[in-house]
Structure 1
Amino acid sequence: MSNQFIDLITKRRTIYAIGKNVSQTPEYLTDLIQHAIKQSPSSFNSQSSRAVILFNGENEKFWALVADKLKSYAKDEESAAKTTAKMASFAAGVGTVLFFEDLDVVKNLQAQFPSYAENFPIWAEHSTAIAQFATWTALHTEGLGASLQHYNPIVDEQVHAEWDIPAHWKLRAQLVFGSVEGEAKDKGYIDDAERFKVFQ
């Protein structure tokens, strides 16, 4: 089918080979990311998503923290070297968006609407996922590559300390981005009959 939005999300892919060869300024990309998150829907318009945007040296600092933390999990020198190389590939990008959910917002909603209390944490996960997807797609429209990573909670303590993050912000994901330096891998799809049911 032909649809502008579908075309955009079809072309948005995981790109692991990224670099710093971008024409956009950090100010422009910050504005883009902020707008993508602000326009992302959330349950009860809670706007519980939070983001810390790291560029250049701050981006490299984050992935160095992750690399240092992961060294303690390495079984041998070979696996340690692979992990270090992987973190270096993320540090090679121009930036990373650290996505958080504000747990105080979730708790306040649970108190206000007790009949929905057990659902608000689930809905918060929906909200952050939508914000991540919207940001990823927005960066794609600028010709940038990105991949979504999840090195929480192993670096939560260091992140909160290094960038003075409020304790009630819960780290959920890291979207690393930069210039496209390599193609995405082929993507396969399971048969539609396994995923969808339609009734008319």
Structure 2
Amino acid sequence: MSNNFLELIQNRRTIYAIGKNVKHDAVYLTGLIQNAIKQSPSSFNSQSSRAVILFGAQHEKFWNIVKDKLKSYAKDEESAAKTSAKMDSFIAGAGTVLFFEDMNVIQGLQENFPSYADNFPVWAEHSTAIAQFAVWTALHTDGLGASLQHYNPIVDEQVHAEWDIPQNWKLRAQLVFGSVEAPAAEKSYMSDADRFKVFQ
């Protein structure tokens, strides 16, 4: 079966070895990221996803914040060094997209549609996941590598203060990206029989 979209998402992989050798400038990449999020579906067309896009020194500042925060969680010098090296691999990239969900939008939906109130926070997680996947795939199609990270909520307070983020924006994930400096490892798949059921 040949399908261009399936080929794109099959080739989109987690790339940890990233660099700053990116052919596109920040203006182009900002437009790409923004459009990918705008075109991502959301429940009730809520458009609750928000993003902060960091390049250059601002990108590095974010990962240094994470790096400093994680020092207090290290069990020993060896684990601290390992964590520090991991953060340095992210700093080596070209940029980071911080994904948020606007809780005011979600709360407004809960008030306007009380029958679905319990579902809106769940659907918001669906929305941000789709937006993350769309951006990740869009970056891949332009030859960039990326990996999705989750250092929230340990850095939430500092992130909100550093970049003047509205308090109603809830940090959900961080997509760090850059040039592909080494390919991803081989990916294995579980048996279709264990994963899918088809009835006709």
TM-score tier (shorter): over 0.9
- State the partner residue of 1:125: 125
CA distance in 2, matches of 1:164, 1:148: 23
Calculate the TM-score normalised by the size of structure 1.
Answer: 0.99
SS in 2 for 1:161: helix
CA distance in 2, matches of 1:141, 1:56: 21
In the alignment, does 2:43 pair up with 1:24? no
The runs of 5 or more residues in structure 1 that have no matched partner are none
Calculate the TM-score normalised by the size of structure 2.
Answer: 0.99
- State the partner residue of 2:180: 180
CA distance in 2, matches of 1:74, 1:126: 32
Q: CA RMSD in A?
A: 0.4
CA deviations over 1:52-98 (Å, ceiling 9, x no partner): 00001100000000000000000111111111110000011000000
- State the partner residue of 2:15: 15
- State the partner residue of 2:154: 154
- State the partner residue of 1:190: 190
Provide the aligned length of Structure 1 versus Structure 2.
200
Once the two structures are TM-superposed, the CA of residue 106 in structure 1 deviates from its matched residue by 0.2
CA distance in 1, matches of 2:104, 2:187: 38
- State the partner residue of 1:6: 6
CA distance in 2, matches of 1:4, 1:183: 21
Once the two structures are TM-superposed, the CA of residue 186 in structure 1 deviates from its matched residue by 1.1
CA distance in 2, matches of 1:74, 1:65: 15
Once the two structures are TM-superposed, the CA of residue 185 in structure 1 deviates from its matched residue by 1.2
Moved over 4 A (4+): none
SS in 2 for 1:176: strand
- State the partner residue of 1:89: 89
SS in 1 for 2:15: coil
Once the two structures are TM-superposed, the CA of residue 193 in structure 1 deviates from its matched residue by 0.7
CA distance in 2, matches of 1:13, 1:2: 19
CA deviations over 1:149-182 (Å, ceiling 9, x no partner): 0000000000000000000000000000000001
SS in 1 for 2:21: coil
- State the partner residue of 2:138: 138
SS in 2 for 1:186: coil
CA distance in 1, matches of 2:96, 2:185: 21
- State the partner residue of 2:115: 115
SS in 2 for 1:66: helix
CA distance in 2, matches of 1:165, 1:94: 22
The runs of 5 or more residues in structure 2 that have no matched partner are none
CA deviations over 1:104-137 (Å, ceiling 9, x no partner): 0000000000000000000000000000000000
Once the two structures are TM-superposed, the CA of residue 144 in structure 1 deviates from its matched residue by 0.2
SS in 2 for 1:118: coil
Identity percentage of aligned residues: 78
CA distance in 1, matches of 2:41, 2:195: 25
